[in-house]
Chains A and B, each alone.
Chain A
Amino acid sequence: MTRLVDVPGQFDDRSFDQFAAAYSRARAEGGRLLFDAHAVEWASPYGLVGLLAAGHAARAAGGEPPLLTAPTAPEVLSYWARAGFFLAARDLFEIHGKVPRAKPAADSDVLLPVTAVRAAEDVHEVVGHIQQRATAILSSELGIDPKATMGFAMALSEACQNIVEHAGTGGWVAVQSYQWRRRLARRVVVIAVADSGVGFEASLAPTHGRRFGDRWNDATALEAALIQGVSRFRDPGRGQGLKGIRNYVSRWDGKLTIRSGTARIAIVPTWDDDVPLTEGLPPFPGSQVLLIVPEQKARH
C-alpha cells in the first residue's frame, strides 16, 4: 500500500510542520511513501533539505524506496535542479515526472547548492566553497562588514559539524540569498541544514537525561544544547559551536531555529514574531537547523 505525503505548495520553515504531520502519519500507517510535490509553487532551502531528510529516513526504514513526484511548474523544476536537489534526491527517491538534466548552476542566488555532509572533509568543502561565493554578497548586498563575513563561514561550519558529530548519519546543507518580500521586505541569506539522525534528545540523553528526570524530552534537550551549551561529550570545550552560531545571529539581528523530534527552539530577532520554544509538534526524524541573516537596517 502506498501512503501519500503531501508537500506544501509553499514549502518553507512555516509549512514544515504540516509536512512533518503528513510524513509521520504516513509512516505510522506503514507501506511505501509517495512524496507528492507536483503542485509545489515555491520551496525554500529549508524545505529542500527537509524533504531529503524525510526521504532518507523513509529509505532507511527498508522496503521499496520512497516515490517522489517532481513539481510540474517549469520555474520550480528549474530552481530545484539549479539548487542541486535532484542530484541528491536521485539516490533516495524513485522520482516521477520530468526532471531537468541541468547541473547545479553558478547561480548568483544559490550560494551553496544542496550538498551532502557526512564527514569532516565535506565541511571543509562547504566552508571553502562558501567563502568564494558568499563574501561579496554578504558585504555588498546585506551590508555586513567584510571583516565579519568570516563569521558566516564559522557559523556554517558549526551547523554542518552538528551532523558529523551528533546525528549518527549524513545530512544536507544549502545556502541561498533571496529577496524576502512577504515576510521582511529585505534581502536575506539563509543556511538550511537537515539530517534524519538521532536528534538532540537521543544524542544528549546518556550524559544529561538523568539530570532532568521526567522533564527530559525534545524541548529540554534543545534548551540544554542551545541555551546552556551542553554537549554529549564531557570535554569542557564542547558546546562552543551552537553558542557561536547564537552569538553570530544575535550580532547581525538574524534568526536561528533548531527543530528536533517534536520541538523547535528559536533565537527570535526583533523583526520576527516567532515563539522561542514550541513543543508537541508532529514528530520528525533528526534535526533541522535554519539560520537567516537579513540585510542590515542602516544600509536598508
Chain B
Amino acid sequence: MIRSIDVSAVLHQAVRATYADLVTRATGRAVREHIEQAYGTDPATVTRMDFGGVRCIDYSCADEIVAKLLRERIHVLLLRGCSEAHLEALTPVLEGHGLAVILERADGTLDGLGRPESAMALLDELVQAQLAARTAEGAVALVEA
C-alpha cells in the first residue's frame, strides 16, 4: 500500500497561509507535525510525498520534514514532483544524515537519492514487495495497482 501526501496542501493546512514556499524551521516543523498527526497510525508500507505544488524548499525545511520523518516515522519514502531546485536542498540534507529516499521521475521510473547503499536497498525492497518492477531497459518503475 502506498500512502500519498500532497505537500503543498499540507503546507496550506498547517500554516493557514497561502505560501508556495517551504522555508523556515517553523514552517517545516508545522508541516511535519501535521503529517505526523494526520498519518501517524496509518500502517502504510510506502509513503509518497508529492512536491508538485511547492515552489521552493530550503535546507531547514528539507531537514525538518524529510530527514526527521525518515529518522522517526517513515521507512520507505517516495518523492514525486521534485524539480532540480528541490533536489538542491534535499540531496545534501539526506547525504548529511546518511539517509536515502526514492525519487519518482515524471516517466514513472524510480531512482535513489541520498546514501547510495540505502537507496539501492530501498529499491530492492519495493521490487520484493511487488510495488515496483524492473523494466526491459533495466530501470525500476512502480507497479500501479
Q: Does B50 make an interface contact (CB < 8 A)?
A: no
When the two chains form their complex, are residues B92 and A128 in contact, meaning their CB atoms are under 8 A apart? no
Q: Which segment, of A47-55, A107-115, A148-156, faces chain B?
A: A148-156
The chain A residue with its CB closest to the CB of B66 is A237
Q: A150-B85, A153-B56, A158-B60 are in contact. Are A243 and B92 (CB under 8 A)?
A: yes
When the two chains form their complex, are residues B93 and A240 in contact, meaning their CB atoms are under 8 A apart? yes
Q: A127-B56, A153-B56, A161-B25 are in contact. Are A240 and B92 (CB under 8 A)?
A: yes
Q: Does A147 make an interface contact (CB < 8 A)?
A: yes
Task: Say how far A17's CB is from chain B's closest CB, in angstroms.
Answer: 30
If over half of B's interface residues share one DSSP class (helix, strand or loop), that class is named, otherwise mixed; here it is helix
Q: Does A124 make an interface contact (CB < 8 A)?
A: yes
Q: Does B104 make an interface contact (CB < 8 A)?
A: no
- Give chain A residues whose Cβ lies under 8 Å from the Cβ of B89: 154, 244
Interface residue range, chain A: 20 to 34
Q: Does B84 make an interface contact (CB < 8 A)?
A: yes
Size of the B side of the interface (Cβ < 8 Å), in residues, is 29
- Give chain A residues whose Cβ lies under 8 Å from the Cβ of B25: 120, 161, 165
When the two chains form their complex, are residues B56 and A123 in contact, meaning their CB atoms are under 8 A apart? no
Q: Does B83 make an interface contact (CB < 8 A)?
A: yes
When the two chains form their complex, are residues A241 and B83 in contact, meaning their CB atoms are under 8 A apart? no
- Give chain A residues whose Cβ lies under 8 Å from the Cβ of B57: 154
Task: Say how far A76's CB is from chain B's closest CB, in angstroms.
Answer: 33
Binding site for A on B (CB under 8 A): 17, 19-21, 23-27, 55-60, 62-64, 67-68, 83-85, 88-89, 92-93, 96-97
19 A-B pairs, CB-CB below 8 angstroms? Answer: A119-B26, A120-B25, A128-B20, A131-B21, A148-B84, A150-B56, A150-B88, A151-B85, A157-B24, A158-B59, A161-B23, A161-B24, A161-B58, A164-B24, A165-B25, A237-B64, A241-B59, A243-B96, A247-B92
Binding site for B on A (CB under 8 A): 119-121, 123-124, 127-128, 131, 147-151, 153-154, 157-158, 161, 164-165, 236-238, 240-241, 243-244, 247
